Structures are given as structure tokens and as C-alpha cells.
Structure 1
Amino acid sequence: LLNHAKYEFVFWKSQRILLMNNAFVELLAFQRALKDLVASVDATYAKQYEEFFVGLEGSFGSKHVSPRTLTSRLLGSMVCVEGIITKCSLVRPKVVRSVHYCPATKKTMERKYTDMTSLDAFPSSAIYPTKDEENNPLETEFGLSIYKDHQTITVQEMPEKAPAGQLPRSVDIILDNDLVDVVKPGDRVQVVGTYRCLPGKKGGFTSGTFRTIMIACNVKQMSKDVSPHFSADDVAKIRNFSQTRSINVFDQLARSLAPSIHGHEYIKKAILCMLLGGVEKVLENGSRIRGDINILLIGDPSVAKSQLLRYVLHTAPRAIPTTGRGSSGVGLTAAVTTDQETVRQDVRHGPHGHPRGDGAGPRHHRQGRHPRPAQR
């Protein structure tokens, strides 16, 4: 793993900029140099592996972006993207080199495969050979062929960084070899990789629109738990409150919840219980009762339902507002999407972070680790 910040002290600054702007050529040179270095230290170990990979980390300056700020000027560059994983595909094998044997001629042949996600300059033919030049049938030697693990993930913009009133944007990222299955949906990650475009085809012809992806070379999982920051004044107030014995702690905390809203004592107590959570119970028959609860508020207009919702949104970590206005119940929670890699249709949950509308109606509160729709 190469620290990108230290790279400037080893090489000239111009070469460091070249690595950022011409990532494909420089990464390929890095991998070849790394293999030569390993071969000079331990030749036996170097012969056991076909390739050695280089991961980058450190400060990326203006190229430290989010899925929303990934623009065409960054194509071909090394970028660092932060976000939340919303989708992980299955890990599938991808052929790198196939070996074929011809029983008629007693000869073997091999073919290497590259595509637009490889570091090579040009993609190879994707046709799998079944006959040789003399039209003799070929048998594939699967034991001698080389495959690599391949996975596609979708990283969405963090809700707290998305502009108000807009849906979070996302980017597809390709993981290969040792990077597969290191993260799961809901994790906050920092991905370093090359931003590249793939030509789109319609009716067998390349169109003028391109699909952009990111080819990762390093994935760093950020802190799963949101660690709150307490100042010295906050700690002093907490200690003074804990030493007070003359008040009911539960009632005092409930009254402190959304203090600008008068009344609604029972609703505030329920929201307080939802924010604090409970203990999961396991009954004798093996069934489980979860510790957290959900709240559904139904009332007339102008009774502070939305204000309570906004207070929970700014208090609970990773809370996301959503609404059913303008979409059906199924359209909010489920949708059929097509996988770009396999053209397979999957049923997925609906959009997150949808801006809620004004007016009367039910308000849904949900507070948890992963952003999920509040309506079922």
C-alpha cells in the first residue's frame, strides 16, 4: 500500500501530478516495478502469482470528491470518493487467460482477455475460442486457465453532504481480486481509483453517451459508528445533571426534546425512547423482540408533526427523511432495476433522502444504522 502523500518526497512533484492525471499508465508501471522488486527479493514467491497490485492512500487535494462532483474533467484521473454503499453485486469469476488443447494436433494454445476496465491500452476480443485455425475442435483446460474475482458496488452520496431538497447521487465502482467482499451495503467507505468512461451501445453501434465507472485500487472502510463530539462545557452539564436527585430524569429529558414545541408530553417520551433504544429480548420459545421501536404520528395540520420530525433528523445520527407524497406505497419501498453488468432485473428498495412535502398527513420516524425507507 503506497502512501500518496509520501510519494512527493520520493519522486519529483511533476511525477506525482503525472500519477494523478495519467493513472492508467502510471499504475501499470507501478505494478511492473513492484513485481520486479519482489522477484529480486524472493524469486520463488514472485513466480507463484501472475500480478502484484498497488493501492494508494493519502491526501488527494482537489481530486477528493463525492459522487455529485465527479465530472468529465476528472475522466482518466486518480480520484478519492467518499460515500455509503447501497448495492453490492455477487462476486463472479472473470477470465484473464484461457488455455485450450487440440486433440487432433496435440497442441495447446492460450488467449488473454482484457476489457475497458483493464489497465491495458486496448481491449481484446471477447470471443471464446472453440476451434483452431484449421477448424479443429478445442478443449478448455480449466485447471490451467486463470480467473479473477469481479464485483460491482454502488456508492451513494452521504445524506449530510447532499444539497437540501435533492436526491443523493451515486457512482458504480468495480472491485477486482483482493478488494472483493471487503465491504457490505450500509458501510461508509473511502474509495481510491481511476475514473473512466465506457462507451454505450444501442443497436450494436456506439452512441455518443458514455457510462462512467470507477475502477478501485484501494478501499478504506470509515468509522461505522458516529462518534459524537462533547465539549468541556457539555461534559460539565452532563455531570451536574447526573448528580441532581430532585427531578425525574425521564420527564426532564422528554421536556428537553424539541423545547420550542409546547405540550405533546407522551409523544416526546415515545420519541425519546426511540432515540435511546432498548434491549433485545429472547423469549423461551426462541423468538426475538427487538429493542428499537417505530413511531407513526397522525394528526391535523399545524400540530408540530413536521417540527418533531426535523428535530429527530438533526438529533439522531444517520437519520433520513422520506415521504409517500407523489408515489405509491410500493413505489416508495420497492423498484425493479436492471444490472448493467449482467442485464439481470432485481427488486430493490425505493429512493432514500426524498424531500418530504408540506401539509397534513402521517409522519414516519425511523432511526437506525442503515438508511432505509420509513414506510412499509
Structure 2
Amino acid sequence: MDHEQEIRVMQREYFDFLDDEADQGIYSTTVSRMLEDGQNRLIVDMVDLRKKNRKRAEGLLKAPVDELIAFQGALKEMVGLLKPELAKELSNMEFFVGLEGTFGSKHVSPRSLSSRFLGSLVCCDGIVTKCTTIKPKVVKSVHYCPATQRTMERRYTDLTSSDPFPSSASYPTKDEDGNPLETEYGLSSYKDHQIFSIQEMPEKAPAGQLPRSVDVMVEHSLVDSCKPGDRVQVVGEFRCLPSKQGNVSTGMFRSIILANNVITMSKAADVNITTEEFTKIRSFAKQNGRTVFDTLARSLAPSIHGHEYIKKALLCMLLGGTEKILPNGTRLRGDINILLIGDPSVAKSQLLRYVLGTAPRAVATTGRGSSGVGLTAAVTTDMETGDRRLEAGAMVLADRGVVCIDEFDKMTDADRTAIHEVMEQGRVTVSKAGIQAQLNARCSVLAAANPVYGRYDQYKTPMENIGLPDSLLSRFDCIFVMLDTLDADADRRIADHVLQVHRYKENVNNRAAAPETADSLNTASTQDENSEQDSSTGQRVLTIYEKNDVLRTKGSGQKILTVEFMKKYIHMAKMVQPSLTQEACEVIAEEYARLRSQDAVENDESNNTAVGGGRSKMARTQPVTARALETLIRLATAHAKARMSRKIE
């Protein structure tokens, strides 16, 4: 059987799959709806194809070029059957097939792509980092010769086409006799094409290694289907293209994915919660009632002693407020921003590291290691075409997540100014090199900084110690001044806690000192809190409390929640949308008026914000503006989410 006969046989099998009137007529109805909407791309689920024709499903994964040619031919035949009035125009129309569903071992990330996937169909997850502009590519050119009054046409294919033999790239200007030719642009055919890069997810990249990326080429209706910062799944053929240096082909090849479907993933975190876990989480919230907030806050970073108020604020940040879009288009942010400023060795960076491990989507950066454009967005030049293109920064990549900025005070003023818009408006506006664009950056900012003088000077005002402008401080919902005070009792408690942590680690190492296999050796040597939760949930049982909780103070009777339970509880609590009651509105209004009216804020019981030991009042750490009113609303909303309450009380 020759190649054309094989294509016809495959086309008949695909037509039988689409003509499913014997079943439920799902794809017949889908094709009709596609034509009514003026679309030319049919999305097919691989699960449906695998159920009806397993051979064709396996062929699509192994040799997608011929299979897609036959599939699209069957789709065109199906369109002619459903719409007989299009029979005359059908020869000039193009229809495409997009794939979705499960791909098994072909579901990869940019890091796991290798040469064994070349020529096969893959599904690649990633985050879009840069996009080129949309360019037209000539498919067919028609030329008219005035001297001979004849018309000629030429078709163009390249290494990204389904044709195995690329045509010449030369554009005809003269015929065989040297007569000049005129291009008939109205009769010529073009197609849109665009190239964007997807990078592996920041939270899935191995620590200490650069994230991998791969280029994706989209054509026709798939162009402009995503923008920098979007998390996508790309289904397409993984192909290599020869690279040239000085018009000489080298042995190095450039890999690219020729997409036939681009699926935008949900911005929500990918956390799987079973029915039993859902019931267990709801019952835990109902049983603990008002104390659930304190229990959750106490379980945040249990290896760090004290800082109760800071842990409560971090819990509010992870839960977040409620974002509102008013009818006139005004956006009220629900993200909570926190600034930790204080002396060295007060666990600022450790708190940031814990948030990085707990938040479902978090990006870490430092003040010296990042610039303003690196945090927001940059306009770069494409090395191949010379065009300008947009590259997303850390805050755009952390959309709907948390950005942790350590050494915040080491940033230059120009770089800090770049994040003002992100912290309040939740977007990045770029107006550079002729590019006008807005990118979503709806993320919470958790920053840690040292005072201006290295250590906190208690003889100067907080504003002089912090050294940040009011325009930036007013965008932080909570500012905590963390002091390393001299207190014998507190020092003793901290020392006992740290020594308890070291004893716990030593016991783990001793217990895993003689592993039997290499796998168990790797598991034991890299064991931490997260891996212990994985091992404890290996039987699909969600453990609420830590079993071997040696970190809590002896005799306190306070249990610590597991990290796995914390993640799933926070994920569920974020879905709750509490509403303000009239009583809550009155309390918030009175508190806001009190903060605005007084010249000095009364010193709370928190040691984190105490400046002087014997003074009952302290100078204000930040200006109380109208943003403080929204801060109170966001904190109250987060507290209600922790209780999984529908009302803010």
C-alpha cells in the first residue's frame, strides 16, 4: 500500500470517528456549532479518540504529520456533508484539528523534552515569558506578466510545513524569458504566524538550576492566544530545525514545538482535594470555630519561635482578601502586602522561605539581584528578526501568587519605584520602544529589609529608621518592626527552641543512618517537613496534626498542623467569598476614624512593634491614608476566610 492509499484509509477511519450519529452525535454537533461560529478549528479529546479507535490515537502520538493531514481531510469531508452549500468554496477553505485530553508519557515540561520526543506529538506545560509580533507568511503568490498576459502562481513551504520537501525561498520577479512580473496581492494567500517561548513553572524548577524554555510556533487562529505571564499547555509536534551561521548549516539544531492547540491553564493553584479531605477540612473548621485562626497561625513556620502577630499577618496574606471589579471598571485589590523590617538574625528571611514553600505560587528575588524591569517587564530585541518583543518579569510570572523580595532596602530608588503600580493596581504598564501593553501582575508582595543604620536606632523615629518613601509605605498593608531586644527569659526560650530543632534533625539522621538501598539513602538525606508529609500521605490519608511534633513547647498542649493539611486548607479557604455585615462596617469605620484622628498610635502588646521598653506611645511607622481603610477590610476578609465564614463579623 503506497503512501496516498494509507492517507485515504486513515481519512476514512477519522471520518467514521467524526460521523458519530450512532453514538450521541457529539462531534457532528460540535462541527455544526464550529461552522455557525465562523471557526475553522475543531478541538478533539484524545480520550474519545482512544475509546473509539486506539490505533489512530497511538498513530497521532507517534507520527502526527500524516495523521493530522488525514484527520483534517476527514474534517473537510464532514463539513461538505453537513453544509452542501459550501461545496464550491470547500477547495479553497482550510480546517484544522486541535487536540486535548490525556497524553500519557508525552505530557512533558520544557526540562524533560529530549531528542526521543522529536517527530512525535507532545503536550508541554509552561509559563509564557516572551512573544513576538504577528507576522504574515506567504503561502501562495500569484503573478501577472503584462508582456505575455499570462498568470502564474507559486506555493511556498518551509521546514515547519507538513510538506516534507521545502520549496525555494526566492520570490519571482521575472519569468523564464526575463519579462517582469506583477504580484496580484488580492489573489495571493497568506497566513499569520507567531513565536513565543514557554518556560517551566517557577515553583517546579529545581533549586539552584536555571529554568529551561522552549520556543513554540503558532499559526492561523492560534496567534495571540496567550500573552507573557500566562500559564499554558501547548499541544503540538516537537520538531528540530537546522541552524545556520553565515549561510552555512551546522550540526546544531534548534528545537521548536509546532502547536495545534494552546490551552490557557487556570490561575488557581493546582491542588487535588478528594471528597474525604473536603469533609475533614470542613469538620475541622466547624469544630475549632473561633480558634481556627490561632491554630493556623501557630502552625506557620513552627521552627521559628515567637512572632505570633507576624505569623497571623502572613496567614492573612496567604488567604488574601476579596478582589472586586466595580461596574465602572475600577479594581479594588484583594492582595495583602507585608513589609518586615528589623535587626539582623530575627528570622526575616526564614519567614520568607517558609512562605515560598507553603504558597501554591511564589517567586523569590532579592534587592541586589533584581532590577525594576526584571521585576515588571522588559522590552528586548529578537535576535532572529530584529523586532522588539515583550518579556515578563518576576511579578508578572507570579500573577495570583506571592513575590518574596529579600534585602528590600538594597534596591535602588528607581527600581523600587517600578513596583508602585503593581502593588496597588495589580498590573504592569509598558510604554517603551513603540510598545504599549498592560500585563496582569495581581500578586502579594512580602518584603524583608534592614534599617538604614544596619540596626534599629531607638533614639530616632521609625520613619528615619525605615528610610522608605511614604508613597511606598502606604502600599504595604502591614509593616512590622522586628527588634533584637535583650531579654534573658526570651533568649532562654529561643535557645531551648533552637536546640530542640537540632535534636530533632539529629534523631532523623540517626534513624536513617543505615539505609538498605540507594533510593532510601536519597530519601533520608533530603528529608524535610514537606517530604515527611508526602510519606505520611502515601496512603491517601490526610493527616491533620503532626505525629512526631517535637517542635512545640513541652507541656503547652498545642498541636501543630501538617504542611499538607495547611496547603489544602488555605486552598479551600481562598474560595470563600465573605460579605461585610452592617456591624462589621461600623467597627471598621470607627477604627479607621480613630487611626486618622490621633497623632500617636497606642503601643499594642506586640513585642514586634515595640520601640521603647517603658514608653506607652510610639511614633507612627507609616502614614494613615485612605488605603488603611481598605487594609482593614482585607484583613477582616482574610480572617473570615480562615474560619470559612460567609460573613465578616
Same fold (TM over 0.5): yes
Report the AA paired with residue 29 of structure 1: A
Question: 1 CA distance for matches of 2:322 and 2:353?
Answer: 26
Structure 2 residue aligned with 1:94: 137
**Pairing 1:177–2:220 present:** yes
Matched, 1:109 2:156: no
Higher strand share: 1
The match for 1:237 is 284
- 1:313/1:321 contact within 8 Å kept: yes
Q: Counterpart amino acid of 2:280? A: D
Structure 2 residue aligned with 1:134: 177
Structure 1 residue runs of 5 or longer lacking an equivalent are 354-359
Correspondent of 1:7 among 38, 46, 49: 49
What SS does the aligned partner of 2:365 have? coil
Q: State the partner residue of 1:323.
A: 366
Give the 3-state SS of the residue equivalent to 1:26 in structure 2: helix
The CA distance in 1 between the partners of 2:390 and 2:227, in whole Å, is 18
In structure 2, what is the equivalent of residue 356 of structure 1? none
d(CA) in 1 for partners of 2:105 and 2:321?
43
2:206 to 163, 173, 184: 163
Instruction: State the structure with more CA Rg.
Output: 2
Separation in 2 of the partners of 1:133 and 1:143?
Answer: 24
Residue in 2 aligned with 1:69? 112
> Which stretch shifts more, 198-207 or 227-236?
227-236
The structural deviation recorded for 1:212 is 0.5
Q: Is contact 2:317–2:335 with CA below 8 Å preserved after alignment?
A: yes
Q: How does 1:75-90 map onto structure 2 within 5 Å?
A: 75-90=118-133
Judge conservation of contact 2:337–2:444 (CA < 8 Å) in 1: no
- How many residues align? The count is 362
Mapped to 2, the partners of 1:210 and 1:68 lie a distance apart of 17
- In structure 2, what is the equivalent of residue 199 of structure 1? 242
The residue number in structure 1 matching 2:252 is 209
Q: Distance in 2 between matches of 1:11 and 1:299?
A: 65
| AA aligned opposite 1:64 | H
Q: Using the TM superposition, give the Cα deviation of residue 216 of structure 1 relative to its aligned residue in structure 2, in angstroms.
A: 0.8
Aligned pairs for 1:1-376 within 5 A: 1-11=43-53, 13=55, 15-46=56-87, 47-48=89-90, 49-226=92-269, 229=273, 231-242=278-289, 244=290, 255=298, 257-278=300-321, 290-324=333-367, 327=369, 329=371, 332-333=374-375, 337-339=380-382, 341-346=384-389, 348-349=391-392, 361-362=407-408
In structure 2, what is the Cα distance between the partners aligned to 1:10 and 1:278? 47
Contact 1:299 1:362 in 2 (8 A): no
User: 1:139, CA displacement in angstroms?
Assistant: 2.0
Structure 2 distance, partners of 1:347, 1:17, is 38
Contact 2:228/2:390 (<8 A) preserved: no
For residues 95 and 121 of structure 2, what CA distance do their matches in structure 1 show?
19
- CA deviation after TM superposition for structure 1 residue 198, in Å: 0.9
Mapped to 2, the partners of 1:113 and 1:372 lie a distance apart of 46
Give the residue type in structure 2 aligned to 1:115: D
Instruction: Tell me by how many angstroms 1:9 deviates.
Output: 4.5
Deviation per CA, 1:89-145: give whole Å up to 9, x if none: 222222211112222222211111111111111221222222222222222222211
- Contact 1:196/1:212 (CA < 8 Å) preserved in 2? yes
| 2:511 paired residue number | none
Q: Provide the secondary structure at the position in 2 that maps to 1:128.
A: coil
Query: Cα deviation per residue 1:328-360 (whole Å; 9 max; x = unaligned)?
Result: 63685476744255233546455779xxxxxx9
C-alpha contact (below 8 Å) 2:243/2:250 kept by paired residues: yes
What per-residue deviation string (whole Å, max 9, x for no partner) do you get for residues 158-188 of structure 1?
2332222223211111111121222233332
- Compare relative contact order (CA 8 Å, sep 6+) and give the higher one, 1 or 2: 1
Rate the CA distance shift 1:198–1:372 in 2: closer, same or farther, 3 A.
farther
Q: In terms of mean alpha carbon deviation, does 140-149 or 42-51 score higher? A: 42-51
Give the conservation status (yes or no) of the 8 Å contact 1:318–1:370: no
Contact in 1 for aligned 2:240/2:253 (Cα 8 Å): yes
Q: % of aligned pairs identical?
A: 58
Displacement after TM superposition at 1:202 (Å) = 0.3
Secondary structure at the aligned position of 1:322 is classed as strand
Amino acid at match of 2:47: A
Structure 1 residues 166 and 372, CA gap change in structure 2 (3 angstroms): farther
In structure 2, how many angstroms separate the alpha carbons of the residues matched to 1:65 and 1:313? 24
Q: Which has the higher helix share?
A: 2
Unpaired runs of 5+ in structure 2?
Answer: 1-42, 399-405, 412-418, 427-439, 448-471, 473-649
2: CA distance, partners of 1:117 / 1:26: 16
Partners of 1:111 and 1:56 lie apart in 2 by 31
In structure 1, give the amino acid aligned to 2:282.
V
Cα distance in 2 between the residues matched to 1:319 and 1:143? 51
Larger mean Cα displacement after TM superposition, 191-200 or 299-308:
299-308
TM-score (norm: length of structure 2):
0.49
**Is the alpha carbon distance of 1:209 and 1:336 closer, same or farther for their aligned partners in structure 2, counting shifts above 3 Å?**
farther
| Change beyond 3 A, Cα 1:235–1:304 | same
